[in-house]
Amino acid sequence: MDQIVVGMADCKIGDTPEQVLTTYALGSCIGLMVHDPKVHVGGMLHFMLPDSSIDRNRVRDNPYMFADTGIPQLLDEVCNRGAVKRRLIVHAVGGAKMLDSEGVFEIGKRNYLAMRKILWKAGLLLHGEAVGGVNSRTVRLEIGSGKIWLQESGTQRELTLPAQQKGVNTWPTVSSS
Amino acid sequence: MFFIECLSDLREFVPEPEVVAGLTFDGDPAGELELKISASAARSVSADFLATDEADLSEQEIHDVVCELANMICGSALSRVESAATFRLSTPRIMDSARDIATLSEAAASASDPFFEVGDSAIHAVELGSGRLVVSIHTEKLKWPLFPR
Amino acid sequence: MAYRVLIVDDSPAMRSFVRRVILLSGFELSECFDAGDGREALSLLQHEWVDAILTDINMPGMDGEEFLRLLAADDVLRSIPVIVISTDATQTRIRRLMALGARGYITKPFVPETLRAELEATLGVTVD
């Protein structure tokens, strides 16, 4: 196993099966993971804030800090390494309600909303998510299998089953079938 | 669907171009809803909803999205009301700010019996990232129905 | 497999939104028909076959509930699966429409993934 750590305001791409992308301490930040199961290429972005217009200077140094600059960057990079956008399996983790340094509680929710908007405009739907709440999370993406491991409150669970399994969705339906 | 993030309640009124949508509803109680959104916010919200660039939007497309926003807010609010009757919402329409608001009230009044008193109303105003949004919902309680419907 | 669907809603913005969700969900569409109310939809169904119908409830002319009732009464049309998309979240309404044969019910506003899940459940396939 070749572990690649994704830091805060950071983004990494994996393109060999033994690689595992990991990011820690997702509080109000969001870890966005994309994976192409056909070519086994995936990426993980750890962003902290929703909107880069508050600090244009920071964007030049680090586009990964913001949802609106980081997400398009993640998609570009993963596609440059051979992934096809249409095939991407997408998961999001984080966006918890945390007391940040300014005592403002809403960053997690705003990050989530910004991410949803950008994914919609980019033409991507989510396949799974573990967001909100009050706990910090750690998450791992296995490039070989596409599996995502979530650690929260001392327990670990798999966030998703491999894309090959049919009939799996996490959104509740009212339908009779 | 609308990705609307409310930043705060309104502090002060600053005039700017607006898009206004209105609709009426039958039910128990009947009433009307009016939604006013700054033109810049209307364009931004519409671009998000339709997943297009702001520059590529037609005025008609913006009007369609604002009407749907009014429809959704009204429908969602009424869903929470305990009511014997099912609510029927009219198709929202874009209104000319000053004149049409009177027309909307008249339409709502003529749909109910002649004698009525104003029932519950609610006005909610918020600052969005790109402007301002005001929703007012007004219901009419029947006091002395002359002609039962 | 390419699907033929009919979207019934008096809001052009909503029809556009729903169409985009269907496409982003991975379903290939050979035809995507639009109708502004139940009457228009029934008229279209006289000469076009569709694999699924997605309909609003509150519409001028013929509303979604009346439309569903007429579909259920037709020997041929009743087999087309219908997903209702409406702001009305009351249990009374939902039960009534499911009893009329709706296969799924989505409350507005909704996340696109909810519609994808309903489509997959209704059309009996998942798309990868």
pTM over 0.80? The answer is: yes
Q: Residue A177: what pLDDT? A: 36
Count of Cβ atoms closer than 10 Å to residue B134 Cβ: 17
Query: Nearest residue on chain B to C107, judged by CA atoms?
Result: B76
Overall domain count for chain C: 1
Please check the confidence at residue C52 and state whether its pLDDT lies above 60. Answer: yes
CA–CA dist A40, B45 (Å, integer)? 36
CATH number for the region B8-144 comes to 3.40.1550.10
The whole-number pLDDT of residue A176 equals: 37
Cβ contacts from A onto B, under 8 A: 13
**C126 lies in some domain:** no
Nearest CA in chain C to A87: C128
The reported pLDDT for the residue numbered B107 is 47
Closest residue in chain C to residue A116, using alpha carbons only:
C111
**CA B125 to mean position of chain CA atoms:** 12
More reliable by pLDDT, A18 or C126? A18
Chain A closest-CA separation from residue C96 CA (Å): 13
Which chain A residue has its CA at the smallest distance from B51's CA?
Answer: A121
Q: For residue B75, what pLDDT is reported?
A: 87
- Which pLDDT belongs to residue B13? 55
| B1, B2, B4, B5, best to mutate vs chain A, most A CBs in 10 Å | B5
Query: What confidence score (pLDDT) does residue A104 get?
Result: 63
Provide the pLDDT for residue A150.
96
Residue A100: predicted pLDDT: 59
Query: Looking at chain C, which subunits does it touch, using at least 3 CB pairs closer than 8 Å as the criterion?
Result: A, B
Contacts of B among chains (3+ CB pairs under 8 A) = A, C
**pLDDT on residue B129:** 64
Residue B61, pLDDT score: 97
User: What is the distance, to the nearest Å, from the Cα of residue A122 to the centroid of all Cα atoms in its chain?
Assistant: 15
pLDDT of residue A137: 96
Could you tell me if A132 and A112 are in contact, meaning their C-beta atoms sit under 8 angstroms apart? Answer: yes
Residues in chain B with pLDDT values less than 70 = 5-15, 82-84, 97-129, 140-149
Predicted pLDDT at C60 = 87
Report the chain B residue with the minimal C-alpha distance to residue C110: B1
- Residue A57 sits in a domain whose CATH number is 3.30.1330.200
A164 domain residue, yes or no: no
- Give the mutation candidate from C16, C24, C97 for the A interface (greatest A CB count, under 10 A): C24
Residues of B in Cβ contact (< 8 Å) with C40: none
C-beta of residue A78 within 8 angstroms of C-beta of residue A68:
no
Min Cα–Cα distance to chain B from A99, Å: 18
pLDDT for the residue numbered A103: 54
- Which residues of A carry out catalysis? 29
Judge: C88–B86 Cβ closer than 8 Å, yes or no. Answer: yes
CB contact under 8 A, C118 and A175: yes
CATH code of the domain in which C101 resides: 3.40.50.2300
Answer yes or no: is A177 within a domain: no
The pLDDT profile of chain A, 177 residues, written as one tens digit per residue, is 899 999 999 999 999 999 999 999 999 999 999 999 999 999 999 999 999 988 777 777 899 999 999 999 999 999 999 999 999 999 999 999 887 555 566 899 999 999 999 999 999 999 999 999 989 999 999 999 999 999 998 899 998 654 433 444 446 555 433
- The answer to whether B38 and B16 are in contact (CB under 8 A) is yes
Domain-located, residue A171: no
Which site among B59, B91, B93 would you substitute to test the C interface, given the most C Cβ atoms closer than 10 Å to its Cβ?
B91
Please compute the mean of the pLDDT values over residues C70-93 and round it to a whole number. Answer: 92
Which tokens sit at C66?
């009346």
pLDDT beyond 60 at C11:
yes
pLDDT at position B126 is: 64
Domain extent at residue C55: 2-120
Q: Which secondary-structure segment (H or E) carries A56?
A: helix A56-61
For residues C48 and B119, the model is more confident at: C48
Q: Where would I find the beta strands (DSSP E) of chain A?
A: 2-6, 10-14, 19-26, 30-36, 41-47, 89-94, 128-131, 137-142, 148-152, 155-158
Q: Where are the domains of chain B?
A: 8-144
Give C75 to chain B, closest Cα distance, Å.
29
**How far apart (Å, rounded) are the C-alpha atoms in residues C128 and A164?**
8
> Can you read off the two tokens belonging to residue B75?
């429908």
**pLDDT tens digit sequence for C72-82:** 999 999 999 99
CA distances from B103 to A90, B14, B120, C27, C81 (A): 49, 25, 20, 45, 41
Q: Collect all residues of chain A within an 8 Å Cβ-Cβ radius of residue B51.
A: 120-121, 123
In this complex, do C98 and A174 lie within 8 Å of one another by their Cβ atoms? yes
C44, C66, C46, C48: which is closest to C57 by C-alpha?
C66
A176 contacts in chain C (CB < 8 Å): 98, 103-104
Q: Do B5 and A113 touch (CB under 8 A)?
A: yes
Does residue C128 belong to any structural domain of this protein?
Answer: no
Which tens digit of pLDDT belongs to each residue from B74-102?
A: 888 887 776 667 788 888 999 876 555 55
Among the partner-chain residues C24, C98, C126, the one whose CB lies closest to the CB of A123 is C24
Number of domains in chain A: 1
pLDDT (0 to 100) of residue B106? 52
